[in-house]
Amino acid sequence: MVTLASILTALLLLGLVIIIDMFLYKVSFLSSLQLVFDVHLSIGGMYLIVACLFGLAVAVVIDFRRGKT
């Protein structure tokens, strides 16, 4: 459940950001998606990816442990 929630949240937020960019730059959905991942993410993106993977890993562990009880 936790993992599901996290991924859902991430997707929803991503959706919001894409919509906002669509509005600001007046581009289509796909270009906006590309914008987000190309332009917005900067050099330190590696740290973020590690952090998110860590977060997801924790989510999976939590689900696992809760599933047991």
Partner 1 sequence: MYSAMVEKISLLQLFILIFLFQIGSAVVVGIAGEAERDAWIAILIATVIGIIIIRLYTYILSYQPGTNLFDIMGQLFGRNASMIISLVYTTYFFYIAARVLRDFMELLITDLFPNTPIEVLSILFMIAVLYVIYLGPEVLGRTAETFFPYIIIFLLLTAIFLLASGDIKMHRLQPILAEGFTPIHDAIFPGLIGFPFGEAIVLTMFMALTNKFQHVTKVSIGAVIATGLTLSTIKIVSISVLGTELSERATFPLLTAAREIAFADFIERIDPIVIFVMMLGIFIKVSVFFFGGLKGLEYVFQVPYRYFSIPIGMIVALFTILIASNYTEHIEEGLQFVPLYLHMPLQIGIPTLLAMIIFIKGKQKKGGITNAE
Rounded CA gap, 32 and 12, in Å? 15
CB-wise, 12 or 28, nearer to partner 1? 12
The yes or no reply on residue 45 touching partner 1 (CB under 8 A) is: yes
When binding is defined by CB under 8 A, the residue of 27, 33, 34, 36 that contacts partner 1 is 36
C-beta separation of 62 from 68 below 8 A? no
CA atoms within 13 A on the CB side of 43: 0
Q: Which residues bind partner 1 (CB under 8 A)?
A: 1-6, 8-10, 12-17, 20, 23-24, 35-36, 39-45, 47-48, 51-52, 54-56, 58-59, 62, 66
